[in-house]
Structure 1
């Protein structure tokens, strides 16, 4: 697809899939003998419940500003999918508590950040409130770029299968990843609809990208320190992350940086990332998604 002629929200119908997962047999280190890889991915469960609830709040605030009916329908579908994502990851957090790893101190900090620092400013006038909504949409668009990158990686990560990763967790990661690829254009298209300028897009990434890395590193350090089986014996390092990524258990850090840089290209559009066909194929085969479809 040409960078100058992106396919912008064409006939996209987003279906919230009310999936259910059974975590009763999930081991604490669900990638066998790989606690650092396990907990690096587990940071998703720390960030996403509060983060995706915030995404849905931002998009609900943006609904009155949308004048394109097709885009409005996509935003509503996005809201429905993200709400289910938040609950699915929340269930993993609840399971971790039962395994003796209490994530709540870190999650409280994340909740404070999204609700207080990045939340709605109720005393703003109409013009400044609109600007605040669009600024938050730009932040969501930047983060959604990375969730689509991670989703595409999850769909193409045979190293996790080779390592014997828990099948239920793999289905969660790939179901969620497939939906992130499926709706990868919505936040960006909403941003361009509200502000077609380049500056706000760049600002969203320059703030959102480093913040996401910072929160991820802090989350990994927290999980390794709180893990009752490790007792603080492991400390993460970038070299370790690189070595684990070369075994296919984590995204390649260099590719992650390149992904962020692609977002800054003037001709960028999210349809250049990942494959909708691959995402929909996985959603048709996912055990959890199939069970959800059969239940309705």
Structure 2
């Protein structure tokens, strides 16, 4: 149940949201940024490819939804959400181009699957087919629901990063650790916005459950297949760790999971369960205090501020 004080409020984000610019130095980051786990490194790195295309998709859909938002507080939340997601996408795009690409990764090939999903299957004209006008708002609501389901995952990943992974404390590369922890923290911070928008536009439990029934396996597939594809072009790995058909790949992933470096493949399916509860609301899924604590000390946030002040070049 929602707290009685805001049960009927369209926006259940009780804290201010801010878009924050960031800056990273990618000169020293190794491909295996988790020294304990090349597979774990690939699992998290590949998420950048999904995030770049996915978060630009989120921005497009929420911009289309804005004219239908009648609550001013929620409208402001959605606008800030869009700005945050655009910054996230740009930060990951730069990490791909300035960091991952220099290790010989074919970035166009890595983008291919998510481009098909977000820019073709979930486009205004799905699969290239124009929808009748009477279906367009329902199609918009469906896609807002997809964002809400995806945001359930990003919030859960945020909590994982903030409470379990602690990558830099485990000797992982500082820049990559900060990229994902800062991003995860902001996902926890704005965790209620997409779900609030979904409900505000008329989303109901049946639609929510149906959407997550599709999103959970697709999200899991994207993570697993994307990780394997990065592993497949990593010549430093034995062949037993480069394919889904070999035990070594799964052994290394579950080993990384046991070290709390990355969630297990099973986690990506089971973490959806709360979303199916009729009483679900993302307000309860994360800690704003933990998120803001990290954001306020993120090296990338501080570096951008120093650049703006002319303290560093």
Tell me by how many angstroms 1:42 deviates.
1.1
Higher mean C-alpha deviation, range 237-246 or range 279-288: 237-246
CA contact (8 A) 2:217 2:269 kept: no
More off after superposition, 120-129 vs 99-108 = 120-129
Task: Normalising by structure 2, report the TM-score.
Answer: 0.87
User: Cα–Cα, structure 1 residues 222 and 254, in superposed 2: closer, same or farther, change >3 Å?
Assistant: closer
What CA RMSD, in Å, does the superposition of the two structures yield over aligned residues?
2.1
Whole-angstrom distance in 1 between the partners of 2:149 and 2:85: 16
Structure 2 partner of 1:209: 216
For residues 54-102 of structure 1, what are the alpha-carbon distances to aligned partners after superposition, in whole Å with 9 as ceiling and x for unaligned? 1101111111111111111101000000001111111121122212222
Report how far residue 158 of structure 1 moved: 4.7
Kept in 1, the 8 Å contact 2:19–2:84? The answer is yes
The 1:127/1:12 distance shift into structure 2, 3 A limit, reads farther
Any residues of structure 2 matched to 1:68-87 within 5 Å, and which? 68-87=71-90
CA positional deviation for 1:34? 1.4
Cα distance in 2 for residues equivalent to 1:265 and 1:3? 13
Unaligned ranges ≥5, structure 2: none
Question: 1:263, CA displacement in angstroms?
Answer: 0.7
Give 1:248's aligned residue.
260
* Deviations 1:149-187, CA, capped at 9 Å, x for gaps: 001111123563453100111111111011000000000
Partner of 1:120: 124
CA contact (8 A) 2:165 2:262 kept: no
2:44 is equivalent to residue 41 of structure 1: yes
Alignment of 1:112-261 (within 5 A): 112-121=116-125, 123-158=130-165, 160-230=167-237, 232-235=239-242, 237-253=249-265, 255-261=267-273
TM-score, length of structure 1 as denominator length: 0.92
The answer (yes or no) to whether the contact 1:226–1:232 under 8 Å persists in 2 is no
**Partners of 1:213 and 1:234 in 2: CA distance:** 18
1:108 aligns with 2:120: no
Structure 1 unaligned segments of length 5 or more: list them: none
CA contact (8 A) 1:32 1:165 kept: yes
Q: Aligned pair in 2 of structure 1 residues 106, 163: CA closer, same or farther (>3 Å)? A: same
More moved, 22-31 vs 104-113: 104-113
Q: What residue is the counterpart of 2:298 in the other structure?
A: 286
Alignment partner for residue 94 of structure 2, among 91, 94, 101?
91
Equivalenced residue count is: 295
